Amino acid sequence: MKPIFVQLQCAPGKTYEVADEIYRKEIVSEMYSTSGDYDLMLKIYLSEDQDIGKFINDNIATVPGINRSLTTLTFNAF
């Protein structure tokens, strides 16, 4: 498994709704509130053969209230 960090920019006033929806999907190991242009940072563990872009498109980008998502960091190991 490898950790992937994804930043989300939420629509104004939608940060809590987006966070709640992502939490209910049970796909993240950690979620952080951020400042600046992006509202949330997610830490997700994917298997080595999982496609990052497909996972984000299928599980995160479809959440209502997200304006943009950006995969920021990927690591093979800590």
pLDDT tens-digit readout, 17-32: 999 999 999 999 999 9
Residue owning tokens 């992937």: 4
Cα 53 → chain centroid:
11
Measured CA to CA in angstroms, residue 14 lies from 17, 22, 75, 77 at distances of 5, 12, 29, 33
**Global pTM?**
0.79
Task: Quote the CA–CA distance of 8 and 11 in Å, as a whole number.
Answer: 10
In whole angstroms, how far apart are CA 9 and each of 1, 6, 13, 14, 49? 26, 10, 11, 10, 27
pLDDT tens, position by position, 36-71:
677 888 999 988 898 888 888 899 888 999 888 776
